[in-house]
Amino acid sequence: MRTLIITLPLTLPSEALPCETTLIDDSGAIVRAQTTPLGLLPQAQGTDVVVLVPVQKLAWHQVSLPRGTLGRGYFQEAQSPRLRTVLEGLLEDRLLDDPAELHMALQAQAQTEQACWVAVCDRAWLSAWLGALDQAAQAVSRIVPELAPSVAADEQTSALYVMGAPERAQVAHVSTQGLRLLPLNSESVALLNAGLPADSNDSLAVWAEPGVAELAEHLFKQPAALLGRAQRAAQALQNGWDLAQFDLMRTRRTRTRKQLLQLLNTLWRSPVWRPARFALLALVLVNLVGLNWLAGALHADQAKQQAAIQTVLLSTFPDVRVVVDAPAQMARAVADLQRQSGTAARHDLETLLAQFELAAPGSGGPKALRYTAGELQLQGLSPDAAPLRDITARLQTQGYNARWDNSTLVISSEGRP
């Protein structure tokens, strides 16, 4: 999916206010970079929209979160107000404005009792721009800073970024110690060079926009690598930040949901997707027809099996006139024949006693027994006796249910009528 980066101007939004936009393809290459009024921003259908907050609008503070601040589920929306309160308490003495008027965002993968960065900006300004972009049908999925302090894992831990017009050029010093934005002049250069270790022969890496590259090389006495505003915007996507946190988290989810609805509407109505819609409809119809045919075949097979069982019952026992439950009726009829012929059934007392004797030979007799409705209870037995330790398993292999109730062994026939 392509990505449209919208760099927010420093002032409040208006329809005619120009915005810098950078369009990036799936490979990360810049497709187009231009300046467009807010009211004429291109429709972002099928494009991921990312808002870029300029370096001039952000302040950076390093804090150490107390233990337990980032507990399980703590960064969920329901818990974020408490975390926001913790951050306000930690930054209360460092902020010049009322914390209620500021938006805060915590570094990704922050850990308690370790130094982490907090980004702070004007909440009213950011909320106004998000509302204006929403009115312009731009569903913002992420908010990233133009530049952010480095972390220890970064390959480039310290660098200088020179930007702006030659008469108003600025230099941003990015390092693990923070981010400083200074006017580009000899005093700032001297201040930055003074921050280097006395025994260091290395100079800071300098990245400059084309319009101020010559000035940067003159002041820093070293070559400057070219990095335009569009390239810097594309590079910001990799910094791992998302400023849409706390009160803006719900706004981000709302925009994402709206973007999904717009995508579904495009898939449903756009002529480009008409072949895909027909293919999906055909696939659904084929599956419905196949499922109906399979259900019919299974139903017919089941009916044949039931008819075969009923035929066996009626041919074996002609006295049966009405078939309700063929297997149960056949079992009862077999039991009646056994009783009439004097043959013991599987659930009769004689049969159950014989199965017990076969399963536990030499175990001795029980102290008492009780037989009720096909269930035999043998009392006064010891489950720990050697012949009786696995008697339940042996009886179950013969088709009998067996269980211990303290010192009583209960035996019954499976499937007795």
User: How high is the pLDDT of residue 76?
Assistant: 44
Give the pLDDT band of residue 272 (cuts 50, 70, 90).
confident
Fold exhibited by the domain 1-146+239-269 = Nucleotidyltransferase; domain 5 (3.30.420)
| Mean predicted confidence (pLDDT) in 395-416 | 80
Looking at the chain, the number of H-run helices and the number of E-run strands are: 10, 17
Correct CATH for 349-413 of 3.40.30, 2.60.40, 1.10.10, 3.30.1360: 3.30.1360
Residue 60 has pLDDT above 50, yes or no: yes
Extents of the domains making up the chain: 1-146+239-269, 149-226, 273-316, 349-413
pLDDT at 186 over 70: yes
Are domains 1-146+239-269 and 349-413 of this chain identical in fold? no
Of 3.30.420, 3.40.50, 1.20.120, 3.10.450, the CATH number of 149-226 is 3.30.420
- Residue 397, pLDDT > 60, answer yes
User: Over 90: is that where the pLDDT of 403 sits?
Assistant: no
**208 near 224, Cβ under 8 Å?**
yes
Cα distance between residue 411 and residue 142, in whole Å: 69
Q: Where would I find the beta strands (DSSP E) of 113-251? A: 115-122, 140-145, 159-163, 170-175, 178-183, 205-208, 225-226
Asked whether 86 and 69 are in contact (CB, 8 A), the reply is yes
Question: What are 7's strand-pairing partners?
Answer: 20, 52
Task: Report the distance separating Cα 222 and Cα 408, nearest Å.
Answer: 96
